[in-house]
């Protein structure tokens, strides 16, 4: 076997193996709703599988015959089998989760497939390199090729291909490439015309099988991963939008999920009987700030809050920083909120909210964060003391940070500690350097006149004063409103979230109410 072929196979094999890992991280993270330990568990499983495959390959090498061409043909078969196993991972995991299996219990599926991928490289090194005085040098070239390929696989797939191809098509492409790589090795080791013809026929059959079965295997994959045993009851998603930044799915009822976790519902009605997403919280800005001319919104979600605030007559400029452009595309497909994206007041930026605050010198009347749930991966970057300090520096005189603690007692304590004034409304915290005053009369007057797309948000004949939407009515067994002093008394035993302790992601899971 020529050294160039061995290096090429090692390079492409590494590229494909790491590409599959990138896709598996996406699948497993989606199934766990973005749990912070998902990546660590998946990576450990992947590496254990590679090690197991290498161990089995080593045992085979010690017991196998030394005849090289026949062994290389078998190595080609191993690479081919690895491509097939990797292709089946995502649908197999989705099938298990759809039958009620916990995502963590599907990790052996990833381990088995990575073992198949991991066996090919040591076999190639053993049987593809002559045992002579140049064996060490040749082996180093093969290793360099594998390292380069692995690096390129992560970068190209993670940064480019995930923005171009959805998961199904990308898995098909990788499977075909892996099968072709195995067949290429078979052809290089073939000594008869018959074996070459059989190898080519095998590749053709594999291509037809991968392409032909992909739709059936992958069609309702995200539904199974999200809903589990209830996926049939919920039906198919109305939209599945895949970008390198993540996957956004929208149910037929308009519920938006980001990375497998609830993000919101496309609704702008504050009426209790219609307010499934409690969008009344967005209207509340007019109750605690008299003239919110300049607002920063970190995260778009379903777009409902954007639609509400963009139609506040006092708002002159609304900057939205969203890290995943898939949310913008989802909002454009929702008639209830789509017009907000073209509102002349609105400035849309694709960026990380924290990075944006670190770079801009602008100050805002209100900073709004309707954040992800506190236990998800990277939630600490939005809830930590350092982030709150950063927001504080970007508030104008009388300005307020208005953010979703998702009921985390640690998040409530952190906000009430960083800011001298704080007030909780349901799961939202209003935090400011200045005293916070809720003005029901101003809120009701504005709500009576509030219009979205030329239509009043309140039905004809309804008055905000009659609805009394800000009254204390209890929420989830606790008070709707809570003062800073009460929050600090209640949360004495809770930690302050920092960038270093990432408390809500790993150990501070208490909630209230």
In angstroms, rounded to a whole number, what is the distance separating the alpha carbons of residues 500 and 486?
27
- Section 320-344 average pLDDT: 98
Write down the domain spans for the chain: 3-219, 236-263, 265-506
Token pair in block for residue 99: 């039958």
pLDDT at 68: 61
Long-range interactions of 292-296: CB distance < 8 A, separation 24+: 292/365, 292/366, 293/317, 293/365, 294/319, 294/362, 294/363, 294/364, 294/365, 294/396, 295/319, 295/364, 295/365, 295/366, 295/367, 295/368, 296/321, 296/362, 296/364, 296/366, 296/367, 296/368, 296/394
In angstroms, rounded to a whole number, what is the distance separating the alpha carbons of residues 389 and 446?
31
When the candidates are 1.10.3720.10, 1.20.120.790, 1.20.1250.20, 3.40.50.1100, the CATH number that belongs to 3-219 is 1.20.1250.20
* Interstrand relation of 261-265 and 255-258 (parallel, antiparallel or unpaired): antiparallel
- CB of 31 within 8 A of CB of 225? yes
- Section 454-466 average pLDDT: 92
* Interstrand relation of 294-298 and 364-369 (parallel, antiparallel or unpaired): parallel
User: Which has the higher per-residue pLDDT, 69 or 511?
Assistant: 511
In angstroms, rounded to a whole number, what is the distance separating the alpha carbons of residues 502 and 452?
39
User: Which has the higher per-residue pLDDT, 83 or 71?
Assistant: 83
Return phi, psi of residue 92, to 5°.
-65, -45
Mean model confidence pLDDT for the chain = 95
Of the pLDDT bands very low, low, confident and very high (cuts 50, 70, 90), residue 134 is confident
In angstroms, rounded to a whole number, what is the distance separating the alpha carbons of residues 425 and 476?
12
Of the pLDDT bands very low, low, confident and very high (cuts 50, 70, 90), residue 472 is confident
pLDDT at 133: 83
In angstroms, rounded to a whole number, what is the distance separating the alpha carbons of residues 417 and 446?
32
Would you mind telling me the total number of residues written for the chain in this entry?
A: 513
Q: Does domain 265-506 fall into CATH 3.40.50.150? A: yes
Tell which residue, 12, 10, 8, 30, has the closest CA to residue 20: 12
pLDDT at 65: 66
Write the CA distances from 414 to 118, 364, 371, 417, integer angstroms: 46, 21, 15, 5
Q: Supply the Cα-derived Rg of the chain in whole angstroms.
A: 28
DSSP β-bridge partners for residue 204: none
- CB of 23 within 8 A of CB of 219? no
State what percent of residues in the chain have pLDDT above 70: 99
Number of Cβ within 10 Å of residue 7's Cβ equals 21
Q: Among all chains, which residue has been given the structure tokens 């408390």?
A: 503
Helix (H) and strand (E) counts in the chain: 22, 14
Alpha helices in 66-133 (DSSP H): 68-98, 107-127
- CB of 328 within 8 A of CB of 322? yes
pTM of this prediction?
A: 0.94
DSSP β-bridge partners for residue 317: 294
For 150-194, the pLDDT digits (tens) are 999 999 999 999 999 999 999 999 999 999 999 999 998 888 899
- CB of 66 within 8 A of CB of 128? no
Q: Does 452 have pLDDT greater than 80?
A: yes
pLDDT at 48: 98
Number of Cβ within 10 Å of residue 454's Cβ equals 7
């Amino acid at each position: 076997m020529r050294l160039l072929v061995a290096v090429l196979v090692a390079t492409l094999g590494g590229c494909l193996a790491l590409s599959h890992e990138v896709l598996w991280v996406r699948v497993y993270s989606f199934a766990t709703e973005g749990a912070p330990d998902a990546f660590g568990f998946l990576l450990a499983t992947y590496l254990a599988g590679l090690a197991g495959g290498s161990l089995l390959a080593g045992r085979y090498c010690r017991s196998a015959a030394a005849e090289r061409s026949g062994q290389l043909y078998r190595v080609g078969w191993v690479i081919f089998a690895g491509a097939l196993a990797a292709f089946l991972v995502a649908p197999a995991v989705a099938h298990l989760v759809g039958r009620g299996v916990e995502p963590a219990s599907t990790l052996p599926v990833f381990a088995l497939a990575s073992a198949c991928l991991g066996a090919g490289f040591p076999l190639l090194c053993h049987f593809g390199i002559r045992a002579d005085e140049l064996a060490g040098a040749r082996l180093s070239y093969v290793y360099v090729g594998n390292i380069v390929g692995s690096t390129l696989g992560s970068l190209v797939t993670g940064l480019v291909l995930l923005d171009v191809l959805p998961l199904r098509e990308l898995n098909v492409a990788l499977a075909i490439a892996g099968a072709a790589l195995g067949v290429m090795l078979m052809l290089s080791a073939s000594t008869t015309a018959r074996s070459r013809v059989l190898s080519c026929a095998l590749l053709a059959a594999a291509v037809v099988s991968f392409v032909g079965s992909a739709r059936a295997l992958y069609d309702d994959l995200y539904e199974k991963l999200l809903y589990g045993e209830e996926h049939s009851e919920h039906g198919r998603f109305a939209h599945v939008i895949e970008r390198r930044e993540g996957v956004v799915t929208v149910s037929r009822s308009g519920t938006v999920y980001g990375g497998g976790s609830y993000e919101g519902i496309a609704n702008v009605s504050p009426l209790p009987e219609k307010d499934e997403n409690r969008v009344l919280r967005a209207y509340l800005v007019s109750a605690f700030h008299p003239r919110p001319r300049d607002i920063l919104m970190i995260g778009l979600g379903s777009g409902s809050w954007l639609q509400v605030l963009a139609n506040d007559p006092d708002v002159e400029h609304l900057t939205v920083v969203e890290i995943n452009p898939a949310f913008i595309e989802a909002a454009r497909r929702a008639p209830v909120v789509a017009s907000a994206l073209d509102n002349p007041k609105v400035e849309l930026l694709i960026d990380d909210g924290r990075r944006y605050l670190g770079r801009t010198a602008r100050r805002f009347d209100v900073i709004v964060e309707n954040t992800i749930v506190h236990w998800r991966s990277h939630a600490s970057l939005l809830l930590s003391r350092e982030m709150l300090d950063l927001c504080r520096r970007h508030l104008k005189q009388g300005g307020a940070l208005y953010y979703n603690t998702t009921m985390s007692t640690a998040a409530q304590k952190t906000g009430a500690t960083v800011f001298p004034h704080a007030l909780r409304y349901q799961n939202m915290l209003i935090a400011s350097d200045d005293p916070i005053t809720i003005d029901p009369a101003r809120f009701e007057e504005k709500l009576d006149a509030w219009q979205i797309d030329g239509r009043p948000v309140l039905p004809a004949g309804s008055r905000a004063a009659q609805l009394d939407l800000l009254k204390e009515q209890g929420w989830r067994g606790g008070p709707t409103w809570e003062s800073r002093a009460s929050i600090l008394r209640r949360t004495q035993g809770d930690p302050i979230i920092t960038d270093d302790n990432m408390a809500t992601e790993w150990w501070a899971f208490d909630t209230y109410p």
